[in-house]
Chains A and B, each alone.
Chain A
């Protein structure tokens, strides 16, 4: 029997359904892979082999009784530790939630279990999803399975960032220790790590996936999505995750299309926009070449390529780093030591001292930085200059996209300005780190569906991703363009197993 961990969602589901192997065998294989790899990769904060096995046994029993199987029956996945999971610790990779065990299950994770998936564990992330490298986790950074080799195989062997914030998810998917994983994306947290690790990941239209039960970072931007080995698996998993939820007021009350059934790489008649503002001065040559490859592949698939302008692009990052911290500063006020999680109560301390001690001990430096920024931009006298202005910019950026989508159907850009950087390389300079989101943030501000697909390796042997942005609700267009690239890129590279 082939190594079951080499299989993705569709292959596992079909194999289980046909009886080629049992769900229990699949879960066992992945549990073993997790146990072997996690000490090296640190991709999981907590592993839950029993959860994966119990789900698998339910699937096997259902199959034995001839009951219909769910669309993810027998598929063991990793759950980003931002999703509340009933009875399983949920930390957001922060000390402040250490020991917190929810009595409730997030809507998205519940939908996945209902579809037949099982949970291998809770995946590491940047603390409260704030970061692009996974280095802000309170439980140690994830190490990417990928190593830089250089064209002659002599590149530095330094540990690489798996991207962030969904770095545990990207590392686990690319190391084949999970069949797929959930991610969340606020400014690029699904797409950038997917690009860094040679996997596919889609952030759907804002509102497609319920935010209920997901630890909030920036409410108007946060959106869950799948991270998987290919576009088809992303489509299957997104179908299971998406759907209206009355418990989330910003949830889209729209039917979930059958994206996986609608997949095609025939792009005849499709117009693809190439935004000139994304061609930054000094853009990394390998990234630029990968972008050109993407253009050629899409043309090959029948698409027409059109130059477009998104004139307010350069204001996106500053606006994002006002709006997201503003919302975060308020969303994170509930971590106060009063009801759950960490409480630091120095001798003789009153309420204010307890707040200060708890939050000082519980939040990491990047979270504190963003709370400070957010508090500042919302404070009296600065609100209009920062927050109001940023909201106006957000409107202009959304309008840029609206105008562009009068002309084109999808937009193609690189996912990130570089391939995966070495751990520690950018952590000293937050601005340098923030610049990694430059291509992903505009689509987040506009709430648009966007995905990253693997496009090849750079000269040091690290994966590069291409980024597709679609019209609101047009996940199908994004997935199809992604599929066209995936089929033409022929990306089969895998990290050499060193763990």
Chain B
């Protein structure tokens, strides 16, 4: 139980949260038609006769969508149901050509599973298990456009029939932070598996947020469902707002109505969309156009064998086999791309330096998380569009490792690499940045610094030892950072002796 509580006028309230996440399955074709699924295409250019529900059209399930959903289920250690079935969810809306959505109510493809989250970044060792009740596969609807005509709405069916996984959590989350961590972790897993690109801003992933509040120890309160929230931040904001709203209602003597609500990202508030009384009667029944889905053991085994190393396993390996800090391991496994980048960096570093991966991994992880991330951040870039490749990073680390340049010069070289895209070796040569271990040159520089700062030398000798760093800094500055830091230290120490 997290310590998150709503402080009401009459005391503390606990919050109970469940998420239903709709994740678009990354496939070339839709769930029941051969139409393409590219994002951002011209309206109604990715629509087959089936998607437009022309008379006599029939759905045929896209096996790749099923495979991806099964892989996702296996990635969260869920039960895969070898027998599942599609049902029709009937309702009328202009973006729903068939007049029903093909979904799975009674017999979902994937059963009970779980996801481990780290509710608090600052405590990377504390995990919590969030149950996943089920994953089922269903069709997306089209989209209405209300801004094209003064009195009419236009319909774009590009999304109609696109395959979604609905991933339904247990009401196991008790704070906005836990919900955020769950959503982030789920997205990480989906991206590792490759079953969903997780791009919430493109609508590939969105969440329906179920929230209720209760006094400690009391049974669950009445929940509300806030629909289609499309970022982690908004999900957290919606929970925060909704939990406080419910507490206010209850403390004012009111009752929570089971209803569907909408989140307004501009105001950070939720508002009522329809109450339970107005809720649709979806008249679910098995889709007679489709046979039950029957999966054999070999198919499930193939799905399992095709899974990559998953984030939890990777994280553990980074900590135990590579000796990374829990924090670094967490950061580097938070998405598949970062982990891939890091692993190329480590492999190439080990090769260049003739060492084992475990010998170079710590330095590589520190450089990546503090130096490169920071520099990219300043440029408004990410690892995905980084001008620096893992191989170039490994070359830079090797130059530091063999004493060709110092750590501080490495920072300058990195900046040049980001600016020019050149290799670190070329930059070091061109700019003459090689570290000097010439004791004579270092002694000359140290003598000059000590002579120019006689007062500080006196203070140092009188016991103000903290000034040692000052002399080192001044010497390095005089040598434009190229002095071998160890030698500089030795020389200063000897001269001040």
**Residues on A close to B: CB < 8 A?**
83-84, 90, 92, 97, 100, 102-104, 106, 211-216, 218-220, 246-250, 326-327, 329-330, 332-334, 336, 338-340, 351-352, 355, 375, 378-380, 383, 387
**What 3 A-B pairs are tightest by C-beta distance, nearest first?**
A333-B99, A378-B283, A219-B288
- Cβ 8 A contact of B55, one of A249, A334, A336: A334
Determine if B155 is an interface residue (Cβ-Cβ < 8 Å): yes
- Cβ 8 A contact of A250, one of B56, B57, B285, B289: B289
Contact between A211 and B92, CB atoms less than 8 A apart: no
- Cβ 8 A contact of A212, one of B57, B93, B281, B291: B57
Known: A219-B289, A379-B283. A330 touches B99 (CB 8 A): yes
Known: A84-B55, A215-B56. A380 touches B100 (CB 8 A): no
Provide the residues of chain B in CB contact with A90, threshold 8 Å: 55
Chain B contacts with A in 255-301, Cβ cutoff 8 A:
281, 283-285, 288-291
Contact between B56 and A383, CB atoms less than 8 A apart: no
- Cβ 8 A contact of A338, one of B88, B155, B291: B155
Cα distance, A165 to B389, chains bound together (Å)? 70
A214, A327, A338: residue with the most chain B Cβ atoms closer than 10 Å: A338
Contact between B55 and A97, CB atoms less than 8 A apart: yes
How many Å from the CB of B84 to the closest CB on chain A? 14
Nearest B-chain residue to A359, judged by Cβ: B92
Provide the residues of chain A in CB contact with B49, threshold 8 Å: 103-104
Nearest B-chain residue to A210, judged by Cβ: B58
Contact between A330 and B88, CB atoms less than 8 A apart: yes
A92, A218, A250: residue with the most chain B Cβ atoms closer than 10 Å: A250
Please encode chain B, from 61 to 84, with 1 for each CB lying within 8 Å of some chain A CB and 0 for all others.
100000000000000000000000
Determine if B307 is an interface residue (Cβ-Cβ < 8 Å): no
What would 20 A/B residue contacts be, using CB atoms closer than 8 Å?
Answer: A84-B54, A84-B55, A103-B54, A211-B56, A213-B56, A216-B289, A219-B288, A249-B59, A249-B289, A250-B288, A330-B100, A333-B90, A333-B92, A334-B98, A334-B99, A336-B92, A351-B153, A378-B284, A383-B285, A387-B285
Known: A330-B90, A378-B283. A340 touches B54 (CB 8 A): yes
Nearest B-chain residue to A374, judged by Cβ: B283
Interface SS majority for chain A: loop
Contact between A249 and B61, CB atoms less than 8 A apart: yes
Cα distance, A83 to B55, chains bound together (Å)? 9
Contact between A249 and B285, CB atoms less than 8 A apart: no
Contact between A102 and B52, CB atoms less than 8 A apart: no
Provide the residues of chain B in CB contact with A106, threshold 8 Å: 56
- Cβ 8 A contact of B53, one of A246, A339, A352: A339
Nearest B-chain residue to A391, judged by Cβ: B286
Determine if B481 is an interface residue (Cβ-Cβ < 8 Å): no
Contact between A216 and B56, CB atoms less than 8 A apart: yes
Provide the residues of chain A in CB contact with B284, threshold 8 Å: 378, 383
Contact between B291 and A102, CB atoms less than 8 A apart: no
Nearest B-chain residue to A333, judged by Cβ: B99
- Cβ 8 A contact of B99, one of A215, A246, A336: A336
Cα distance, A129 to B92, chains bound together (Å)? 23
How many Å from the CB of B102 to the closest CB on chain A? 11
A246, A336, A355: residue with the most chain B Cβ atoms closer than 10 Å: A336
Determine if B119 is an interface residue (Cβ-Cβ < 8 Å): no
Determine if B131 is an interface residue (Cβ-Cβ < 8 Å): no
Provide the residues of chain B in CB contact with A250, threshold 8 Å: 288-291
Determine if B330 is an interface residue (Cβ-Cβ < 8 Å): no
Please encode chain B, from 188 to 227, with 1 for each CB lying within 8 Å of some chain A CB and 0 for all others.
0000000000000000000000000000000000000000
Cα distance, A106 to B88, chains bound together (Å)? 24
Contact between A249 and B283, CB atoms less than 8 A apart: no
B97, B288, B290: residue with the most chain A Cβ atoms closer than 10 Å: B288
Provide the residues of chain B in CB contact with A333, threshold 8 Å: 90, 92, 98-100
